[in-house]
Amino acid sequence: MILVLNSGSSSIKFKLYEHKSLKMVVSGTAQKIGEKNSIITVSDPYSKTTKELILPNHTVALKKIEEILISQNYINSFSSLFGVGHRVVHGGEDFHSPTLIDESVIESIKSNISLAPLHNRANLEGIKSIYHISPNIPQVAVFDTAFHQSMPPKAYRYAIPKELYTKYKIRRYGFHGTSHYYVSKKVAKLIKRDYKSLKIITLHLGNGASACAIDGGRSIDTSMGMTPLEGLVMGTRSGDIDAGVVLFLSNIVSTKEIDNLLNRESGLKGLCGINDLREIQKETDKNSDAQLALEVMAHRIIKYIGAYYAILGGLDAIVFTGGIGEHSALVREMVTKQIEHFGIEFDKTKNETTQKDAFEITKDTSSVKVWVIPTDEELVIATYTKEIIEALL
C-alpha cells in the first residue's frame, strides 16, 4: 500500500492506494489537531467511521490513523507500507521534481519555511511523524512549486533590485503545480494528442485559484507568485493588487492587519461579504455586490487567458478544474463565451452536464477544446511515490 499525506497546521488529509494498481482504497482526515475535541474520519466507498478523541500533535494523530486502518483490515501496520508520499507546498528553487526524502531534503524544506511558514512547517510535521512511527518506510516529497520550475527568468523574476532575488529569493514560484500537471496531461489523452505538442491553459478554480500556461508539457507562466496571494480573485484572497495600495494601508493599519485583510477578508468575500461561490450565485439576482463579485472574478480569469494566449502563441485546449471549475457552469459560461474569438465554439448543453468524470464543453468542430477535468493531486503523488521507490529496488 502507498499512503499519501497532506499535513496542515492542525489537520492531516490522507488517502491509501493499492501499490500496483494505484486504486484508492480508503481516505480520511484528522482535524483539530492540538485542540480539545479532535476528530478522525475514515471513509471507503461503503462505509464511514468518525471518532472524537484527543490528538495533541501530528505523531499521535498518525498513530491513531494507523490503529484505525489496522482495525479495519486495510493494513497490517505503517511498517508494511510500500511508501509514503507527502504534499509539500514550497520547494523554492531547490526542487524541480518529486524526490526521495532524506536528511538533506528535510533541511531544504526547512530552509524554505520562510517562503511558506504555515505550510512547510506543517508538511515537515507529517514527514517527521512517519519517521518517528516507522523509520524504515521510504518517503517521497511532491512539491506544489516543482512543476513551475520550468518557467524562464522573464516569467518568474520581478522587476525589483536583483539583490532581493539573489539574497532573499523573491521571485514568482507558483502553486497548484501538481493539479496543473495532472489535468494538462489528462486533456492530452482525452483529445488524443501528443502532450509535448500542445499549448494548454489550465484553470484551477477554488477557494484558492490559479492559471497556468503550458507549452509542450512545461509550465511557462502561472498566476500565483512568491506566495499564493497573487493572481486570480479567490475566495478570501485579493489576487493582483497595486503594491501602492499595500503602502497606503501601511499608514492606516499594521502589517499583520494588512496580511489578514488581503489573505482572509478580500477576494469574493471582500467584494460581497460571501466567499462561497455557491451562495454568491444564489444571491446575484437580488444582490448587486454578489453580481459584481462574480463579474470581477470572471474578468480576471479572462484577462489571464488572453495574456497566456499571447505568450503561448496559440492555443489547443483550456481546462477548468478545482471546486469552482468543476461545478460552476455559470462561471465557465461567463469565461468561455467571452473568448469565443480564440476559436472556441461553446456548447451550452454540454456545459450544463452534471457528472463526476471529465467532459467537454465545446462543440466537436471547435478548434480550441475546452474541458472540465476533476483534479486528483493525491493520485499524482501516489504515482510519483511508486515510481521513485520502484526505481530504487
- Predicted local distance difference test score (pLDDT) of residue 152: 97
Average pLDDT over residues 321-325: 95
Per domain, the residue ranges of the chain are 2-143, 193-377
Beta bridge pairs of residue 3: 16, 84
- Predicted local distance difference test score (pLDDT) of residue 307: 98
Task: Say yes or no: do domains 2-143 and 193-377 share a fold.
Answer: yes
Instruction: Taking the CA atoms of 253, 257, 259 and 261 in sequence, report the sign of the dihedral they define.
Output: negative
- Predicted local distance difference test score (pLDDT) of residue 117: 76
| Number of Cβ atoms within 10 Å of the Cβ of 228 | 24
Average pLDDT over residues 345-369: 94
Read out DSSP for 242-285? -HHHHHHHHTTS-HHHHHHHHHHS-HHHHHHS---HHHHHHHTT
Percent of the chain with pLDDT over 70: 100
Query: Is pLDDT of 148 > 90?
Result: yes
Average pLDDT over residues 307-311: 98
- Predicted local distance difference test score (pLDDT) of residue 13: 93
Average pLDDT over residues 142-156: 96
The answer to whether residues 233 and 239 touch, using CB atoms and an 8 Å cutoff, is yes
Average pLDDT over residues 81-92: 92
Query: Is pLDDT of 231 > 80?
Result: yes
Instruction: Check 44, 94, 102, 144 and give the catalytic one.
Output: 144
- Predicted local distance difference test score (pLDDT) of residue 22: 95
* Per-residue pLDDT tens over the stretch 232-250: 999 999 999 999 999 999 9
CATH architecture of 193-377: 2-Layer Sandwich (3.30)
* Residue 92 banded pLDDT, cuts 50, 70, 90: confident
Query: Is pLDDT of 385 > 80?
Result: yes
- Predicted local distance difference test score (pLDDT) of residue 370: 98
Instruction: Please give the Cα distance from 77 to 244 (Å, whole number).
Output: 54
Q: What is the dihedral of CA 22, 24, 25, 29, to 10 degrees?
A: 130
The answer to whether residues 138 and 389 touch, using CB atoms and an 8 Å cutoff, is yes
Rg (CA), the chain: 21
CATH architecture of 2-143: 2-Layer Sandwich (3.30)
| Helix residue spans in the chain (DSSP H) | 58-71, 103-111, 117-133, 153-156, 162-168, 177-190, 243-250, 255-264, 267-272, 277-283, 288-312, 322-327, 329-338, 348-351, 377-390
Average pLDDT over residues 290-312: 97
Question: Is 144 among the residues known to form the active site?
Answer: yes
Mean pLDDT (the chain) is 93
Q: In what order do the strands lie in the sheet with 209-215?
A: 218-222, 209-215, 199-205, 317-321, 369-372, 359-360
